[in-house]
Amino acid sequence: MSRHSVELKTDEQIILMREAGLATAAALREVRKAIRPGISTLELDAIAEATIVARGGHSNFKLVPGYSHTICASINDEVVHGIPSATRALKAGDIVSIDAGAEIGEWNGDSAMTVIVPNEDGSAVDSDQVRARQILSDVTEGSLWAGIAALAKAEYLNEVGLAIEEFIYSQGKYGILEEYVGHGIGRSMHEDPAVYNYAVREKGFKIQPGLCVAIEPMVVAGNHRTKVLKDGWTVSTKDGSDASHWEHSVAVHENGIWVLTAEDGGAEKLAPFGIKPAALS
Ligand code: MG
Ligand code: MG
């Protein structure tokens, strides 16, 4: 990807992008509240859609040619791009990653989370397999925040991927997807530059005010190799191992960074790194 095609955003544009980010965050929050055994991924899709529309936006996933849903819901060995289905019901102990994005006006948000489906009574399923799934999700989320924290201090974008990779491998033997990476975000959900989740030799884009990126580590319990299922979308692990996906859209500006798809701008999760996100007004 050419670094010349990166559009830097003004403070005013970042403030507008925050509306799309917050609508995306709200959609994921409502989906999280609804996740329970027996609910279908199509029902979750409807909840996300209604939440985004209520905030004056629309789904940007629906703008992707050939895709007609608001979320991707990827269960267990599925990593990303799972298609919501009325016949796909969640089971207690499943590990499900939900990815969603809102467009408001000209501006886009993009965020993903992983949830371990609890029992009917809200308690966690008590098994070694499900505990391992929670740890996989925690490691993936931790790597996302390590990457965001790196962005706050980095000179070049490759420092983000290095921080993500170092965090993941410090936690155990996990696989990091290589064919799917993060991206710039703004007037389109997917823009330059690419944001790798692993160390690359090229320094990448120079971090500067106005850079807006979606950072999205995709981490698996086994080997990183994936396949696309017959539906043409769902990406799952080749070895059947479990997967997790976490994502936030983040803006760099004159006074620091702001996590556009976090309701607190990232304050809570960045505090352990000694980083205070700076709001724009
Ligand atoms: Mg996404
Ligand atoms: Mg994305």
Ligand nearest to the Cα of 81, by number:
1
Cα angle 201, 256, 59 (rounded to 5 degrees) comes to 80
- The pLDDT of residue 279: 85
Per-position pLDDT tens, the chain of length 281: 444 589 999 999 999 999 999 999 999 999 999 999 999 999 999 999 999 999 999 999 999 999 999 999 999 999 999 999 999 999 999 999 999 999 999 999 999 999 999 999 999 999 999 999 999 999 999 999 999 999 999 999 999 999 999 999 999 999 999 999 999 999 999 999 999 999 999 999 999 999 999 999 999 999 999 999 999 999 999 999 999 999 999 999 999 999 999 999 999 999 999 999 998 87
Nearest C-alpha neighbor of 229 from the set 78, 24, 120: 78
pTM of the predicted model as reported, rounded to 2 decimal places: 0.97
The CATH code of the domain that includes 143 is 3.90.230.10
What's the domain range around 61?
A: 3-273
CA distance 220 to 104: 33
Residue 275 neighbours by CB distance under 10 Å: 20
Q: How many angstroms is it from 36 CA to the middle of ligand 2? A: 25
DSSP one-letter code for 178 = S
In sequence order, what are the beta bridge partners of 227?
236
Question: Does some domain include residue 216?
Answer: yes
Position 29, amino acid: R
Q: For the chain, how far is it from start to end, CA to CA, in angstroms?
A: 32
State residue 182 phi and psi, 5-degree precision. -80, -175
Q: How many angstroms is it from 121 CA to the middle of ligand 2? A: 33
Q: Are 114 and 95 in contact (CB under 8 A)?
A: yes
Question: Does some domain include residue 186?
Answer: yes
Question: Does some domain include residue 279?
Answer: no
Q: How many angstroms is it from 127 CA to the middle of ligand 2? A: 32
Question: Does some domain include residue 278?
Answer: no
Q: Are 64 and 24 in contact (CB under 8 A)?
A: no
Q: Are 4 and 270 in contact (CB under 8 A)?
A: no
> For the chain, what is the domain count?
1
Q: How many angstroms is it from 194 CA to the middle of ligand 2? A: 10
Ligand nearest to the Cα of 182, by number:
2
Q: How many angstroms is it from 79 CA to the middle of ligand 1? A: 12
Nearest C-alpha neighbor of 223 from the set 174, 161, 179: 174
